[in-house]
Structure 1
Amino acid sequence: MQITAVREGIAAAAAAVVMPEGTAKLKSYAYVPDDVVAPCFFVAEVDITFDKTFGRGTDELTFTCRVLISAANDRTSQRLLDRLLSGAGEGSLKQAIEVARGVPGELALGGAADDLHIQRVQGYRWYEHAGAQYVGAELVIKVIGDGSS
């Protein structure tokens, strides 16, 4: 499993989320951007567990991704963040990303992994990025795949 391909697949899946009318399209990055143009989603840290099965059969990647919303209007920003963090609906990042799992028996993320699952949301709070303040949260995504590739 190649980390770059997984990052890019997650970012592409997140970009498919439907934003409310009158809201800017979600910018989605495979890596931490230097500057944020909100609303923004990016794949940040990765933890790697090798050899979940014998013979380099399966590795497990745990990605921490962040979604940041402009802090221009506290209530509006938090409502938009709530929508993105909901478990279902066209504005749900969980739903948009998990579509990339494919149908049963199909590889996830366009063949980059065996499967993925959004485990949790954490850190719903104010974030500083490149000197600016945003309201945001982290999504923790577990990805499993072939350890020998």
Structure 2
Amino acid sequence: MQIGPIREAIAEAASAVVMAVGTPKLRCYGYVPDDVKAPCFFVGEVDITFDKTFGRGTDELMFTCRVLVSAANDRAAQKTLDRLLSGSGEGSLKQAIETARGAAGEVALGGLADDLHIQRVQGYRWYEHAGSQYVGAELVIKVIGDGRT
């Protein structure tokens, strides 16, 4: 699997999220941006486990993604974050990203991987990015695919 195109495909899938009325569109990046304009989703760190099956059959990538919603510590920011972290609905990152899995038997992310799954949300807290503070959280996404490509 090629890491760069997978990062970009995850960000593209996340961009399908529908934000609540009055909330700016979610900006989505495959890489950590230098400057954050909230709300923002980006693919951050990646952990790689090679050779999950013999003969370079399957590799596993674990991406830690972040969603940062606001520099304000208010109820509206937390409500926005809660909506993005919900398990379903048009404002759910999980639903938007996992739609890129394709139908049963299809490859994920437009053929870049065999499958993906958002395993968990963690770190619902304040984040510092480029000297500014934001309310946010992390999403851990597992991607599996052919290690020979």
- TM-score of the superposition, structure 2-length normalised? 0.99
Q: In the TM superposition, what whole-angstrom CA distance separates every residue of 1:94-147 from its partner, at most 9, and x where no partner exists?
A: 000000000011110011100000000000000010111100000000000000
- 1:70-149 maps to which residues of 2 (within 5 A)? 70-149=70-149
SS at match of 1:6: helix
Q: Secondary structure at the match of 2:120?
A: strand
| Counterpart code for 2:107 | L
- Partner secondary structure for residue 118 of structure 1: strand
- Structure 2 distance, partners of 1:14, 1:73, is 24
Distance (whole Å) between structure 2 residues aligned to residue 122 and residue 32 of structure 1: 18
How far apart are 1:22 and its partner, in Å?
Answer: 1.1
| Counterparts of 1:107 and 1:46, CA distance in 2 | 21
| TM-score, normalisation: structure 1 | 0.99
Any idea what SS the aligned residue of 2:11 has? Answer: helix
1:39 maps to what in 2? Answer: 39
The equivalent residue for 2:55 is 55
Q: Decide whether the 8 Å contact of 2:71 with 2:132 is kept in 1.
A: no
Instruction: List alignment gaps of at least 5 residues for structure 1.
Output: none
**Contact conserved, 2:86 with 2:93, CA < 8 A, in 1?**
yes
**CA distance in 1 between partners of 2:121 and 2:70 (Å):** 19
How many angstroms does 1:70 deviate by?
1.1
User: Runs of 4+ in structure 1 displaced over 2 angstroms?
Assistant: none
Indicate the percent of aligned positions where both proteins have the same amino acid: 81
Q: Pairwise CA RMSD of aligned residues?
A: 0.6
Cα distance in 2 for partners of 1:5, 1:104 equals: 22
Taking the aligned partners of 2:77 and 2:47, their CA distance within structure 1 comes to: 29
Partner secondary structure for residue 37 of structure 1 = coil
The DSSP-based 3-state class of the residue aligned with 1:100 is helix
C-alpha separation in 1, matches of 2:94 and 2:82: 12
SS in 2 for 1:94: helix
The aligned residue for residue 4 of structure 1 is 4
Letter in 2 for 1:64: T
Q: Could you say what secondary structure the match of 1:147 adopts?
A: coil
